[in-house]
């Protein structure tokens, strides 16, 4: 049973794809995190880097975009592929680019000069020098016929990709769409003439388009939406899948138990059905996944326990990569396996599960330390980046300075005042720092005060982060009154 749950009513739009009541995919669309992939911009080359064969392009967004030489139309058309990027673009040059990958972390968006304009049956590349058929079309005869048709329809510099929907279209309908896409590109070029600075010239309605694409993949089942206009729009695009309108007061994701799944995706620990668990540590450079046996002890022997746990982990890890939309380098620390055949079984299991993934993945194999390496194409921010902010206490490290560390820092700073003329000091801090400084039952207070030649008074404040402030030095009576102590 396939089901698509669409939450369209609020500003943050979401949908979840469920198979047999199990969430397999979640997509978010927020105004501040809206994907730029597919958007076409009129940009200016701000910097050329011959050593990297790349250039930075000002496209009018917060961060400049990154463009590699190999995705320039002029490079594709050139017979000499040995020249660097300085032979094809120069600083200050105006250029048309399309976003291929969203900005992540400190990196700006990645763009291509090979413009793709999507249609219902074709993807048109004005200067793509390319002809291809969707990989989902597996019949060799159909592929050959479409390539012959493409060769007749396109010019030498144009590029065409035939989509699966073209199988149900006539040659006339395909040509009509091609001419429509050509006109659309010419309109973009005309629009550029009036532009005085870099900016957006084409934006795709990503969210409704993604929903329509998801529906097209469904063999059966239903789509449930909470917006009547969207229901009518989706019904017009796809007649084979039933679209239902949700009228309930409760949020549709809560009603269909999807909200709970989202909460689980933000957790560092993921439990497996057998009591084992996974630990996810995401960084900007890579993601590390650790597999632990947890409560699972197995029924036969140690090797059986390890293999079964790793097999379960392989399936869940592939699912979590899809759900969390984790991209880039992924390192998986499976429970150590001594037998090579067990490692081969795990690689095969990972490959099987990753075959369900729409994003391109590549398995590099196990390292000498037993770590499985793989990569997953990153096109947009992971769910953790979209839904979470960096902690203002630990600043993204996941750790804060301990009470003991802060207490020793406080002691060192107080020692700098031991020869001063003051009688006492008032310290604002947390209870944990004060207790760490003075020791159990404050038995270190007398020794410390003798060493410092200062009486210690404290103003205790609750805080998630351990800290201290030397609020005031002065006469003991004055400081004691400030601390609320009867002198």
Q: Give pLDDT, residue 160.
A: 96
Q: Is 76 exposed, middle or buried (0-12, 13-18, 19+ CB in 10 A)?
A: middle
Q: Give pLDDT, residue 462.
A: 93
Lateral strand order in the sheet of 361-366:
269-271, 277-282, 286-292, 328-333, 372-376, 361-366
What architecture is the 268-387 domain classified under in CATH? 2-Layer Sandwich (3.30)
Q: What is the largest CA-CA distance in the chain?
A: 99
Q: Give pLDDT, residue 450.
A: 93
Q: Give pLDDT, residue 470.
A: 96
The CATH topology of domain 403-482 is Hypothetical Protein Ychn; Chain: A, (3.40.1260)
Contact 46, 64 (CB under 8 A): yes
- Strand locations in 226-314, DSSP E? 242-245, 269-271, 277-282, 286-292
Angle among Cα 375, 61, 35 to the nearest 5 degrees reads 45
Contact 97, 64 (CB under 8 A): no
Helix or strand holding residue 122 (H, E): strand 122-125
At residue 91, the 3 state secondary structure works out as coil
Where do runs of H (alpha helix) occur along 29-155? 73-77, 140-153
Rounded Cα–Cα distance for residues 241 and 223 (Å): 7
- Domains of the chain by residue range: 2-31+206-260, 40-202, 268-387, 403-482
Q: Give pLDDT, residue 487.
A: 57
Contact 137, 146 (CB under 8 A): yes
Rounded Cα–Cα distance for residues 166 and 171 (Å): 9
Question: Does domain 2-31+206-260 correspond to CATH entry 3.30.420.60?
Answer: yes
Q: Give pLDDT, residue 47.
A: 96
Assign domain 40-202 to a CATH class. mainly beta
DSSP string, 404-458: HHHHHHHHHHHHTTTTSS-SEEEEEE-HHHHHHHH-GGGTTHHHHHHHHTSEEEE
* Residue 228 bridge partners (DSSP): none
The residue among 352, 265, 342, 356 whose CA lies nearest residue 310 is: 342
Where do runs of H (alpha helix) occur along 96-170? 140-153
Rounded Cα–Cα distance for residues 141 and 167 (Å): 12
Q: Give pLDDT, residue 285.
A: 85
Q: What tokens were used for 264?
A: 């689980």
Contact 266, 280 (CB under 8 A): no
Q: Give the phi and the psi of residue 277 in degrees, each rounded to 5.
A: -150, 160
DSSP 331: E
Count the neighbouring beta carbons within 10 Å of the beta carbon of residue 153.
16
Q: Give pLDDT, residue 303.
A: 81
Q: Which residue has the tokens 């599960």?
A: 353
Q: Give pLDDT, residue 394.
A: 83
Digit-by-digit pLDDT tens for the chain (487 residues) are 899 999 998 888 999 999 998 999 999 888 766 788 899 999 999 999 999 999 999 999 989 999 999 999 999 989 888 899 999 999 999 999 999 998 887 889 999 999 999 888 899 999 998 899 998 888 999 999 999 999 999 999 999 999 988 888 899 999 999 999 999 999 999 999 889 899 999 987 678 888 988 888 888 899 999 999 999 988 887 778 899 999 998 999 999 999 998 988 989 999 998 888 999 999 888 999 999 987 666 556 778 888 999 999 999 999 999 999 999 999 999 999 988 999 999 999 999 999 988 889 999 999 999 999 999 998 877 888 888 888 888 887 788 899 999 999 999 999 999 888 999 999 999 999 999 999 999 999 999 999 999 999 999 999 989 999 999 999 999 999 988 876 5
Q: Give pLDDT, residue 300.
A: 61
Q: What tokens were used for 460?
A: 């205790």
Rounded Cα–Cα distance for residues 34 and 380 (Å): 9
Rounded Cα–Cα distance for residues 39 and 103 (Å): 13
């Amino acid at each position: 049973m396939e089901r698509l749950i669409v939450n369209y009513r609020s500003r943050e739009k979401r949908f979840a794809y469920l198979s047999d009541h199990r969430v397999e995919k979640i997509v978010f669309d927020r105004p501040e995190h809206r994907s730029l992939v597919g958007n076409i911009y009129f940009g200016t080359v701000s910097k050329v880097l011959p050593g990297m064969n790349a250039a930075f392009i000002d496209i009018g967004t917060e961060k400049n975009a990154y463009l590699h030489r190999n995705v320039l139309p002029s490079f594709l058309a050139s017979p000499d592929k040995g020249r660097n990027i300085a032979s094809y673009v120069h600083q200050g040059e105006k250029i048309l680019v399309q976003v291929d990958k969203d900005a992540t972390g400190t990196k700006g968006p990645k763009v291509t000069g090979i413009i793709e304009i999507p249609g219902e049956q074709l993807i048109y590349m004005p200067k793509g020098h390319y002809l291809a058929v969707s990989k989902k079309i597996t019949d060799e005869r159909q592929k050959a016929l479409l390539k012959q048709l493409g060769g007749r329809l396109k010019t030498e510099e144009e590029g065409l990709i035939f989509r699966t929907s073209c199988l149900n279209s006539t040659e006339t309908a395909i040509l009509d769409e091609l001419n429509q896409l050509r006109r659309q590109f010419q309109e973009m070029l005309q629009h550029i003439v009036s532009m005085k600075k870099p900016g957006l010239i084409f934006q795709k309605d990503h969210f409704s388009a993604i929903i329509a694409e998801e529906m097209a993949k469904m063999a059966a089942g239903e789509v449930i939406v909470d917006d009547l206009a969207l229901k009518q729009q989706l019904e017009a695009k796809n007649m084979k899948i039933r679209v239902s309108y949700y009228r309930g007061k409760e949020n549709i994701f809560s009603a269909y138990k999807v909200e709970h799944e989202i909460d689980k995706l933000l957790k560092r620990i993921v439990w497996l059905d057998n009591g084992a668990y996974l630990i996810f540590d995401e960084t900007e450079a890579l993601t590390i996944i650790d597999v632990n046996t947890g409560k699972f002890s197995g029924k036969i022997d140690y090797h059986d326990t390890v293999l079964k746990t790793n097999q379960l982990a392989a399936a869940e890890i592939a699912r979590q990569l899809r759900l969390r939309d984790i991209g880039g380098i992924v390192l998986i620390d499976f429970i150590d396996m001594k037998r090579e055949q067990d490692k081969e079984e795990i690689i095969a299991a990972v490959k099987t599960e990753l075959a369900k993934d729409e994003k391109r993945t590549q398995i590099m194999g196990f390292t000498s330390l037993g770590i499985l390496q793989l990569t997953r194409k990153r096109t947009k921010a992971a769910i953790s980046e979209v839904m979470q902010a960096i902690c203002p206490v630990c600043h993204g490290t996941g750790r804060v300075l301990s009470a003991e560390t802060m207490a020793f820092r406080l002691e060192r700073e107080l020692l700098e005042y031991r020869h001063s003329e003051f009688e006492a000091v008032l310290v604002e801090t947390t209870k944990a720092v004060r207790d760490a400084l003075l020791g159990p039952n404050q038995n270190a207070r007398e020794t410390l005060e003798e060493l410092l030649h200062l009486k210690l008074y404290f103003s205790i404040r609750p805080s998630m982060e351990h800290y201290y402030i030397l609020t005031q030095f002065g006469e003991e009576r004055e400081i004691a009154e400030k601390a609320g102590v009867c002198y």
